[in-house]
Amino acid sequence: MSIIKSTSYNIHIGNGCFDALNAFLKKSKCSGYFIICDENSFSHCLPTLLFHVPLLNDAEIIELESGEDKKTLETCLQVWGALTDTGADKKSLIINLGGGVISDLGGFVASTFKRGIDFINIPTTLLSMVDASVGGKTGVDFEGIKNHIGTTYEPKGIFVNPGFLETLSERQIRNGYAEIIKIALIADFMFWKKLTKLKSAAEFSSELVIKRAIELKNDIVKKDLRERNIRKSLNFGHSIGHALESALLEQKKDILHGEAIAAGMLMEGAIGLSLQTISSKEFKMLSNYINSIYTKIKISKDTEKLLMNYIIHDKKNEGSELCFALPKGIGTFELVCGIEPLLVKKTLENYQQL
């Protein structure tokens, strides 16, 4: 098992993570345990967790419907109500067992219930292992805008069991892999070079790849928990990607977060090429690899209009200025503000050719 030290907690990765969780629970002396999961993690992951961590056999189970469209304040009301009805108090522990939606929403619920109670993350998807569960960002979507309401509130521990990934489809593995590509592009050129040699879902989700992606994100978070500076680099691909995801979800179209982020990295990479933060050779490397893994998304004129509206409301903007985190070469980043909406619109129109 690998242990990564974060700001105030540890991230446990590998076969020994359940032993670490047992030790954590025995030491923490909580008044009660409340496991938040969805129907997928309830069926595929909860039995494994309860088998290896018998202290949780008496935990209250709060099962939610899966899906980004359920990451709302309405769902939070349900969870707050369940916690209240089952007697949760200030010394209770929330255990988020699931993917990115569960990590984000469960952390937000914990940060606000009785002005904040403890929680831990047990991520069950590649996306949540390498991104959503790490870093203390919590939140829900509001009026279709991704993570518009939220807090920065860190877990007491993260316990990563790569074995949970065996239950995932190849599409879900690719969903999480987009965040691994992103962290390599803005933080580690040598890691990026290694990733370009990977072709299969099994390679994308190996424990070594997961560990390195978590290390890179954790290093950035430790330097800038409140996202004043370097943590903004983690938004590469997300200004357009989040907007695209929101627009397609509003239109009731099938889209996963990582698929939208892959498209966002392509388009924001092209904007970087236009602004000369990245060379044509580097952009070709980026686009060739992303296009080898992800299918292009069809963006209709109606989707494009919605997308531009979401970009204007992106929380990373400063006043009326559009601000994007762009790769500065490969392996570093640059925050660029004042990007012209017309350049974004042209990039959207040229997306299929990128």
Segments of the chain assigned to CATH 1.20.1090.10 = 170-353
Q: Which residues contact 210 (CB under 8 A, 6 or more apart)?
A: 13, 126, 129, 130, 160, 162
Architecture field, domain 170-353: Up-down Bundle (1.20)
Identify the weakest region by mean pLDDT among 20-24, 49-53, 186-190, 313-317: 313-317
pLDDT on residue 205? 97
At 320, is the pLDDT very low, low, confident or very high (cuts 50, 70, 90)?
A: confident
Cα-based distances in Å from 293 to 197, 234, 290: 12, 21, 5
pLDDT over 90 at 317, yes or no: no
Fold topology of 2-167: Rossmann fold (3.40.50)
Strand ranges in 132-173 using DSSP code E only, listed in sequence order: 137-142, 145-152, 158-160
pTM: 0.95
The residue among 51, 36, 163, 154 whose CA lies nearest residue 101 is 36
Segments of the chain assigned to CATH 3.40.50.1970 = 2-167
List alpha helices for the chain, DSSP H.
Answer: 17-28, 39-44, 46-52, 73-85, 100-112, 126-127, 170-187, 189-195, 201-204, 207-223, 238-250, 257-274, 280-293, 301-312, 341-349
Distance (Å, whole) CA 312 – CA 320:
8
The residue among 247, 255, 236 whose CA lies nearest residue 310 is 247
- pLDDT tens digits for 70-123? 999 999 999 999 999 999 999 999 999 999 999 999 999 999 999 999 999 999
Q: Which residues contact 94 (CB under 8 A, 6 or more apart)?
A: 34, 36, 83, 106, 109, 110, 113, 117, 118, 119, 120
Q: Are 80 and 64 in contact (CB under 8 A)?
A: no
Residue 324 in tokens: 């994007």
pLDDT over 90 at 314, yes or no: no
- How confident is the model over 275-290, as a mean pLDDT? 97
Q: Are 16 and 74 in contact (CB under 8 A)?
A: no
At 131, is the pLDDT very low, low, confident or very high (cuts 50, 70, 90)?
A: very high
Segment holding 323, helix H or strand E: strand 322-327
Return the active site residues: 115, 137, 179, 217, 227, 231, 235, 238, 242, 257
